[in-house]
Amino acid sequence: MTERLFATHTVRRRRELDGLWQVGVPGARPGEPDRRHRVLVPSVIESVPGLENFRGVARYERDLDAAGLLGAFEGEAFLHLVCKGVGHTAEVYVDGAHLAHHYNAYTAFDALTAHTPGTRTVRIDADNRFGPDSALHRENDYYSYGGLSRPVIAEIVPAAYIEHLHLTPFRQGGTWHLRVRVQLASAWARTGKGQGMSSTAEVTLVLDGHEVAVLTQADATGVPGRYERVLAVPGAQAYQLDAPHLSLMQALLHVDGQLVDDLIERFGFREVRVDGTRVLFNDEEIRFVGFNRHEDHPTFGCAIPLEAMAKDLLLLQDLGATSVRTSHYPNDERFLDLCDELGLLVWEEAHARGKEEERNPLFAAQSLAGLDEMVTQHHNHPAIFTWGILNEYESDTEYGRAIYEQMYARLRELDPSRPTTSATCWFPTDICLDLPDIVAINIYPLWYHEETVAEYVGGVLDFIDSSPGAGKPLIVSEIGAGAIYGNHDPRRAKWSEERQAEILTAQLEHLFTLPQLTGTYLWQFADCRVTDGWFAVRPRTMNNKGIVDEHRRPKLAYTAVRELFAQYRAQHGIAPTRAR
Ligand code: ADA
């Protein structure tokens, strides 16, 4: 198993904690002892027979041979655990000591403790219960799974180590430049053993095998442990969507002249910006067709293995999609890595979907924390062309607007290099269209609305034209209709495959006549599981608007959509990703 599609370190000692863990879940009835299972990590707890509907705390445990991990490492060592995703609230313990608490299944977090020789016991409690402590994971039109659903890694880090490395390419005077930001962390400070960082810390930067700079105290910023420098990179090979060239930057940390740590990040020399109603990728206007995709699979839940991710991408390419929206949360980095390699544009979205039944006072803080983590962790992916936030949240009330304002302000502070967006369905009541760089609309004519596609879309576009969203790029972030796989019906009733194909055809035929559209995402790629609360409007407690069902079996609409996507691409000169 691999946590990324490229090596992220050649110096730091680390090991993925994949394989079987001991998992304990409470007995079925009060007073019954815990049930024990041996469970592969990563996976979801719902994949264990009998636990398909589990909501509770699953206690994951395993031993770790710390001496083996340490190897020949010299100097003061710390054990660093990195969890790429735990559903949805995690408590991390090593040898019984509580080290970390984290909320949100879709972003990574870490835990740190002093290294001690011998065998260590790692325990991670994964809690997927809904309740007042959880504003984002709740009853929803997708499923919140439990467990260690993304990889877990154990590392040895020195007292000062590299926390992250952000690479932001831009062109100036016809030459590619790179803003390099290195964030160092102090294990002493984090574990309460002491303060600060050695002032002799230096970071050597190696771009595609060539040393390009050494960052020293002279590059220190006001932020503790942060170095920053802009490098000119004449002759850099650009990352183009039809030739997605990737570059590797290794940061090597020296303290007192000794090489102690490293981090490798992969990125592409490309720029994204908005120019009036157009989105430019390396100064060329982009247009795309694609799908919303949930991380969901009947066998794997949200813990989709690499092979199954790759299969989804093969299907997306077969359909002629050139973009994907990670509705409604940040995705597994391996999926993003694959998109980078394919030149498949990504709208990556911070976790949140829809209005709340009752406003949870934790909503803003939990959304903001997830946004911070997403942007910090996924900054370097060249395929991500926009950050999305707050799908269909309260952009029609002053209460909601205050949250949108806070989130947009934070997003622009964290990453001014990408345009921003939010998908809205509040027409004509949205009062937030001045905030995003790109206006995005979720529309379901002929499914939820009776009017013709032209009438319904016309009304929405009139509203946008009369709002502060006028003059901005426009994306249809969702359009679709439902069908239950195998349900054929001469009446062409709703939920039949025939009706879905008919509606999608009418929707796309109309949308593709609109010159102002930057892109269209169909809702959705595959049928996905929803929570029980949605049973009344979601037959099978599944969102059945997939173009393939949950097993990835194509519905009738598949061929029609593929054909329409091909026509659109031909009309706009967009190469299909699979031909690149
Ligand atoms: C919304 C929402 C999706 C899904 C969809 C639907 O627009 O953003 O998550 O719920 O509608 O199927 O109705």
Residue pLDDT, tens place only, 129-183: 999 999 999 999 999 999 999 999 999 999 999 999 999 999 999 999 999 999 9
Where b means 16+ CB within 10 Å and e means fewer, 174-206 reads eebbbebbbbbbbbbbbeeeeeebeeebbbbbb
Q: How far is Cα of residue 444 from the mean position of the Cα atoms in its chain?
A: 25
> How many whole angstroms from 445 Cα to the centroid of ligand 1?
13
Q: Whose CA is nearest to atom 7 of ligand 1?
A: 442
Residue of 443, 449, 478 to mutate, ligand 1, most atoms within 8 A of C-beta:
478
Q: Is the pLDDT of residue 1 over 60?
A: no
Which residue did the predictor score with more confidence, 117 or 529? 529
Task: Give the integer Cα–Cα distance in Å for 141 and 134.
Answer: 16
Q: Is the pLDDT of residue 316 over 60?
A: yes
The response to whether residue 478 sits with its C-beta less than 6 Å from ligand 1 reads yes
Q: Please report the pLDDT score of residue 578 as a whole number.
A: 57
The residue with tokens 């002249």 is 257
Q: Could you tell me the pLDDT band of residue 101, with boundaries at 50, 70 and 90? A: very high
The response to whether residue 425 sits with its C-beta less than 6 Å from ligand 1 reads yes
Task: Give the integer Cα–Cα distance in Å for 527 and 290.
Answer: 16
Task: Give the integer Cα–Cα distance in Å for 354 and 363.
Answer: 12
- Mean pLDDT calculated for residue range 187-207: 86
> How many whole angstroms from 425 Cα to the centroid of ligand 1?
9
Q: Whose CA is nearest to atom 9 of ligand 1?
A: 141
Q: How confident is the model over 336-347, as pLDDT tens digits?
A: 999 999 999 999
Residue of 425, 543, 547 to mutate, ligand 1, most atoms within 8 A of C-beta:
543
> How many whole angstroms from 141 Cα to the centroid of ligand 1?
7
Q: Please report the pLDDT score of residue 264 as a whole number.
A: 98
Residue of 141, 460, 507, 543 to mutate, ligand 1, most atoms within 8 A of C-beta:
141
Q: Please report the pLDDT score of residue 324 as a whole number.
A: 98
Q: Is the pLDDT of residue 525 over 60?
A: yes
The residue with tokens 């998992």 is 23
Q: What is the residue type of 551?
A: H
The response to whether residue 543 sits with its C-beta less than 6 Å from ligand 1 reads yes
Q: Whose CA is nearest to atom 3 of ligand 1?
A: 141
Q: Please report the pLDDT score of residue 192 as a whole number.
A: 86
> How many whole angstroms from 158 Cα to the centroid of ligand 1?
46
Q: Is the pLDDT of residue 577 over 90?
A: no
Q: pTM of this prediction? A: 0.98
The response to whether residue 141 sits with its C-beta less than 6 Å from ligand 1 reads yes
Q: Please report the pLDDT score of residue 509 as a whole number.
A: 98
Q: How far is Cα of residue 358 from the mean position of the Cα atoms in its chain?
A: 26
Q: What share of the chain is helix, strand, coil (3-state, %, to 5)?
A: 20, 35, 45
Residue of 422, 477, 484, 523 to mutate, ligand 1, most atoms within 8 A of C-beta:
523
For ligand 1, what atom is nearest to the CA of residue 327? Answer: 9
Q: Is the pLDDT of residue 580 over 60?
A: no
> How many whole angstroms from 280 Cα to the centroid of ligand 1?
28
% residues pLDDT > 90 (the chain): 94
Q: How many residues does the structure list for the chain?
A: 580
Q: How confident is the model over 482-520, as pLDDT tens digits?
A: 999 999 999 999 999 999 999 999 999 999 999 999 999
Q: Please report the pLDDT score of residue 74 as a whole number.
A: 86
Q: Please report the pLDDT score of residue 199 as a whole number.
A: 72
CA angle 321–107–153, rounded 5-degree value: 110
Question: Which of 218, 223, 227, 221 minimizes the C-alpha distance to 253?
Answer: 227
Beta bridge partners of 203: 215, 253
Q: What is the residue type of 396?
A: D
Q: Please report the pLDDT score of residue 579 as a whole number.
A: 55
Task: Give the integer Cα–Cα distance in Å for 18 and 308.
Answer: 17
Q: How confident is the model over 24-69, as pLDDT tens digits?
A: 999 888 888 899 999 999 999 999 999 999 999 999 999 999 888 9
- Mean pLDDT calculated for residue range 379-389: 98
Q: Please report the pLDDT score of residue 72 as a whole number.
A: 84
Both structure tokens of 325: 């929206």
> How many whole angstroms from 53 Cα to the centroid of ligand 1?
23
> How many whole angstroms from 314 Cα to the centroid of ligand 1?
24
Both structure tokens of 481: 């209709």
Q: Is the pLDDT of residue 3 over 80?
A: yes
Q: Is the pLDDT of residue 319 over 80?
A: yes
Task: Give the integer Cα–Cα distance in Å for 374 and 21.
Answer: 27
The response to whether residue 312 sits with its C-beta less than 6 Å from ligand 1 reads no
The response to whether residue 442 sits with its C-beta less than 6 Å from ligand 1 reads yes
> How many whole angstroms from 426 Cα to the centroid of ligand 1?
13
The response to whether residue 392 sits with its C-beta less than 6 Å from ligand 1 reads yes
The response to whether residue 524 sits with its C-beta less than 6 Å from ligand 1 reads no
Q: Is the distance from CB of 561 to CB of 525 less than 8 angstroms?
A: no
The response to whether residue 353 sits with its C-beta less than 6 Å from ligand 1 reads yes
- Alpha-helical segments (H) within 272-325: 306-318
The mean pLDDT value of the chain amounts to 96
Q: Is the pLDDT of residue 200 over 90?
A: no
Q: Is the distance from CB of 120 to CB of 139 less than 8 angstroms?
A: no
Q: Is the pLDDT of residue 364 over 80?
A: yes
Residue of 392, 394, 507 to mutate, ligand 1, most atoms within 8 A of C-beta:
392
The alpha carbons of the chain give a radius of gyration, in whole angstroms, of 24
